Chain A
């Protein structure tokens, strides 16, 4: 087990390096470097930087050097917490990102919980009662859920909210807590607002997970070891939960690995539509205004966090499935 974790953590390193290269490329892609834009912006705002100040900044970010050196500079600064300057906000990126990132993580985590809390029981029920009306209904809704992009779902729900309830469904906080400092009341208020985006973001994932859960449970229900368990005289319900469901849980939990990126993607989009104070809108504004340091930092951090989440879920999976722990993952 320890060896497995170590191996997985080591595998993370090249991936992280790759992400950083991609993120850095995104910073570099637009014509002109960030500093030119920054200086131009300041000039437009009526503030002139002296030659020396510009030179100092250039040196700090290594802009006068080759892209390779610039990358090294950038990543070293990044790891030390200096993520560059957002010229749009005129503040250090790290200051801007903090709270929004935390909210994104909370939302992604809740969505993950939601997806599995809904998908697992429904998938099992659907499989055990194969071809029942419920099964058909679930399958049908699942298809729709998969086909509806979640930002559209958000739009439709907002529309319904305005049309029939006269209320806007956006935001994460009520008026009185909007700029209030953190308190129990504020957390509670946030949770009350968060269920809607969680449901919206989770829909597609839930639909997919139900399908996987149903199919694997069906698969397992016909396996010989279920016969064996039945031949022992176990009660039917107990038997289903202890054997086929237990085995079918593994593949579904192993899909956390691809649920998480989807969920993070989803939160970015849905947050935009619902106007939530998470990373989504900020990333969007950064991209629209070519605020590349901010955007790249977001991409870098979101990806890293997703990777870490995936890693954690893999370790969890290895912990519960002996076959993975002993290294023959292919046989599942």
Chain B
């Protein structure tokens, strides 16, 4: 496999007055070139912080304290070599040329993600001018082309519009156009459809799939909706409280979830074939990040909680057959 991005033991902490929130706590996963990685987990599990860590956009009081983010950069000659993004200064020129140029990102709130006082055309052109060696008029042409690619009607007129004149779905299309305008090899999409209605969501997802296939770009698709993952992703990474608790191919995970958390997430999906009065939820809520739990962080909510074990021993990642990985004591010698 051709690995594009490899995240090893990533740790991003927020140093707050209340204590240290370990938003991302030794997360390890990788993304293959041209593939879609789905990252799932409830809100507050550190998905967004992981994405921002990769972009080196974590702002104080957050700091990435440890880990490696190996990004395979391809130079003009076609030679590829991994760089550790964490070794680059976050606001330095190398990182800035990667950010937006090679790794682009789109966000949850499309309208709020666009500047209210700049024309959308100018916002897209800005990105192009930053990363490509073109004249302003050429950049404008590229921008119009991009808007057409994301199926925005009357693209050349829309260039002069402001964000508040567009619908949420349109804004997300603009965001996608902007993100893809420099042909990044990785697109990080942080819950890009959460704020949209269901119909618009379907359209945006369809568009992303089409563009992904066309441009041969990898996507890190963050969501808390397993249904989307099922449609989109090749690989899946399940996060819980800043940790990767399970990863593997999408088909494996949906067919045979290993971690009780994954199982619980899957059970909370509404299904056509089951007639139930209530939808299943996972017991309880994501606990407070400031007071670390002993043992496995999921144990207070786990259906397979083993007293004396799960609340004592911290589980380590275990490699199962066919490249799957799970972080649960059920798969160790501690399980009876």
Contact = CB atoms under 8 A, between A and B. Distances in A.
Interface residues of A, number: 24
Contact of B100 (A223, A232, A322): A232
Interface string B85-114: 000000100011111110011011100111
Nearest to A250: B117
A129 to B, nearest CB: 11
Given A233-B97, A234-B96, A228 B126 contact: no
B38 to A, nearest CB: 20
Given A233-B101, A235-B96, A225 B115 contact: yes
A229 B100 CA distance: 9
A323 interface: yes
Contact of A234 (B98, B116, B130, B162): B130
B104 A231 contact: yes
B175 A233 contact: no
Contact of A233 (B96, B109, B117, B123): B96
B164 interface: yes
Interface residues of B, number: 32
Contacts of A228: 105, 107, 113-115, 123, 175, 178
Given A228-B107, A228-B175, A234-B130, A247 B100 contact: no
A227 B57 contact: yes
A250 B116 CA distance: 11
Interface in A274-332: 320-323, 326, 328, 331
Given A225-B115, A331-B164, A231 B91 contact: no
Q: Is the interface of A mostly helix, strand, loop or mixed?
A: helix
Given A231-B55, A233-B99, A233-B131, A225 B113 contact: yes
Contacts of B95: 233
A234 B123 CA distance: 12
Contacts, number: 77
A231 B116 contact: no
Given A228-B107, A228-B175, A233-B130, A247 B117 contact: yes
Nearest to B112: A224
B57 to A, nearest CB: 5
Given A231-B55, A231-B104, A246 B130 contact: no
A243 interface: yes
B107 A247 contact: no
A234 B95 CA distance: 10
A224 B109 contact: yes
A91 interface: no
A230 B112 contact: no
Interface string A217-248: 00000011101111111111000000100110
Q: Which of A225, A228, A229, A236 has the most CB of B within 10 A?
A: A228
A232 B114 CA distance: 12
A44 to B, nearest CB: 64
B162 A227 contact: no
A223 B99 contact: no
A225 B98 contact: no
A229 B91 CA distance: 13
A233 B107 contact: no
Contacts of B175: 228
A323 B123 CA distance: 17
Contacts of B91: 235-236
Given A231-B104, A234-B130, A322 B117 contact: yes
B127 interface: yes
A63 B117 CA distance: 56
A231 B95 CA distance: 10
A300 B126 CA distance: 50
Given A247-B117, A323-B164, A227 B99 contact: no
Contacts of A227: 57, 107, 113
Interface string B53-65: 0010100000000
A227 B109 CA distance: 11
Q: Which of B95, B105, B109, B113 has the most CB of A within 10 A?
A: B113
B308 to A, nearest CB: 44
B99 A231 contact: yes
A89 B107 CA distance: 70
A229 B115 contact: yes
Given A225-B116, A228-B123, A229-B115, 5 more contacts: A230-B55, A233-B95, A322-B117, A323-B117, A323-B164
Interface of A: 223-225, 227-236, 243, 246-247, 250, 320-323, 326, 328, 331
25 contacts: A224-B108, A225-B112, A227-B113, A228-B105, A228-B113, A228-B115, A228-B175, A229-B115, A230-B99, A231-B99, A231-B100, A231-B104, A232-B99, A232-B126, A232-B127, A232-B130, A233-B100, A234-B130, A235-B96, A243-B118, A246-B117, A246-B118, A322-B117, A322-B162, A331-B164
